[in-house]
Amino acid sequence: MHVLEAEDPRRMGDFTLVGRLGAGGMGQVFLGRRADGRPAAVKVVRASLAEDPEFRARFRQEVAALHRVGGEWTAPVLGADTEATAPWVATEYVPGPSLHQVVGAGYGPLPEATLHSLTGRLARALRAIHGAGLVHRDLKPSNILLTVDGPRVIDFGIARALDTVAGGLRTSTGVVLGSPAFMSPEQVRGLRVTPAADMFGLGSVLVYAATGRLPFGSAELGLHALMFRIAEEEPDLTGVPHSLTGLVTACLAKDPALRPTAEQVAARIRTDAAEPWLPAELLAELGRLAARVLTEGTPSQDPAPAPRVVPEDPVRSARRWRPAVAAVVALAATAAGTALALRGDGGKDPAGSGAPGASQSAARSVPDAFTGAWEGVVEGDVEMPKRVLRLEITQGGPGDPVASYIDTGGEQQCGGRGALVSADADTLVVAGSRLTVQMPQGRCGPQARQTLTVRSPSILTWESGGLTADLHRSTGGPQAVPDEYVGVWVPANELYRQQGMVRIAQGPAGGRLVRIADEAGMEGGTEQVCESSYVVGAVSPVLALGPGTYTAESGGDCRQHDAVFLTVAGDELLLYSMAVDAEPAHYVRKS
């Protein structure tokens, strides 16, 4: 916590402001106190947002929703004024470190009994949030604060007020609704977000609390690889207690409809309020911290002396907090307040929540001419592609992972990321790539060393493993699929019109966006329709799809498809070809 600056307000409503806690995309966060001494985190909206009628209307709606949430394992609203010149809202100040700090830099993975208590309480918090008509959208360890009596979920609801403001507010302020490692598959694909997305986040949080690891890897693998894993790969649950693996697996289901609701989890995981919910040594330290914060009268820029944590149970003495936690706990009041700042601070959670390029100190050895997305046909040609490569290059210095790829062709789709070896104005050399994703499992090998040469602002020559191809600049982001592909397509030959269908959704490269249904024949005297889903590996010059994955409804006679390539010819004709077929099939847009 820091002292107030000259231009800071001294009072907001019934709250006297006594110090600065942090800043976020929405504005400044202060520590405030009511006349009865109760502390609060007071968020004051910055002037540019307050002047935006659209933001103010959404802010008013969200604050009203927050009042309905109540305080069951959340930070309740203590006061607000949405009509003031500087709108503000005050929530309960939570004197405790985040789950990220405790697991990542202090106590380590939590014991099984604590995990059960954490699960039940977080489910009840989500039940209250969802019951108020809100979706958290960013449930992660740094948004869960630990206190003596239980966890508190923070930063829900209000961030959505930033979502509809004109002028690209989220880009201009750095606010991102969702941290990559804790996003749900539907968030990754840019689809509609429902309360089920929070349940996926709950599953990821529980894996981290139980193991200290992330279920799909960290953002150090590259944002694209991480999001690909979330959408397509199974989570790594090694180390999760057997008593929770079934629940965690259900929460991490790719299909939102298959995940349990917060109500169902709360009913399944019961917690005994009479039992301590945390290990004794951790509870003792949190108690001392809470007492110190609640009785503190004036802010100070200097941390209190670091307390020494002595485990009460000698059997668990091996799990003493590491030395690094001394500073974390001593500064927990500051850290907890900063966490309330709508995550606009510069801190990092275990996900590496910032997008690629967030490390501004990294050496910019990659010339700007190389950065961005590139795609091209590696084997075959545009009319009859056999293998298509998508390459995404980011900034970085020697040894940094700067080049991620999706290689689609034949019977497989492979993804990896390579580190920079050398760079000059025209040529980039990337070391042999480390494999990050593969479909199907066990079929891919790492990419050989790649040499990239800029031929023009829009053409990059790629050389690797004896192959050479020209890659062209392509699009990225959540709406990378060209609009002319989006929609439903059926066979051009009316005789087969009822026997096949291609459905293409908008979304990012790496998303499972295409479903193809076709008739496989007869089974038991009835027609059998096989439906499979595909990951988009590239969007230009063709839509390259990895090997299909059949839905649960598909029968045993359905044949696993190889890679598929789609090309729009004219306004209403879609050419459908496979790497092993000689001639493409023709589809037309469904009327």
**Enzyme catalytic residues:** 138
Smallest CA-to-CA distance from 384 within 250, 210, 577, 212 is with 577
Q: Assign 279 to helix, strand or coil.
A: coil
167: left (phi over 0), alpha (psi -120 to 50) or beta: left
Biggest CA–CA distance in the chain, Å, is 82
Cβ(180)–Cβ(219) below 8 Å: yes
- E strand or H helix at 456: strand 450-456
Smallest CA-to-CA distance from 290 within 140, 152, 474 is with 152
Question: Could you give the angle at the alpha carbon of 297 between the alpha carbons of 296 and 298, nearest 5°?
Answer: 105
Helices within 79-111 (DSSP H only) = 99-105
Take residue 27 and report the two structure tokens written for it.
Answer: 């504005």
Dist. CA 218–CA 350, nearest whole Å: 7
Take residue 537 and report the two structure tokens written for it.
Answer: 């590996």
Take residue 509 and report the two structure tokens written for it.
Answer: 């490269």
DSSP for 285-334, please give it: HHHHHHHHHHH--S--SSPPPPPPP--SSGGGGGGPPPTHHHHHHHTHHH
Burial track 278-307 (b if 16+ CB lie within 10 A, e otherwise): bbebbbbbbeebbeebeebeebeeeeeeee
Preceding omega of 541 cis (within 30 degrees of 0): yes
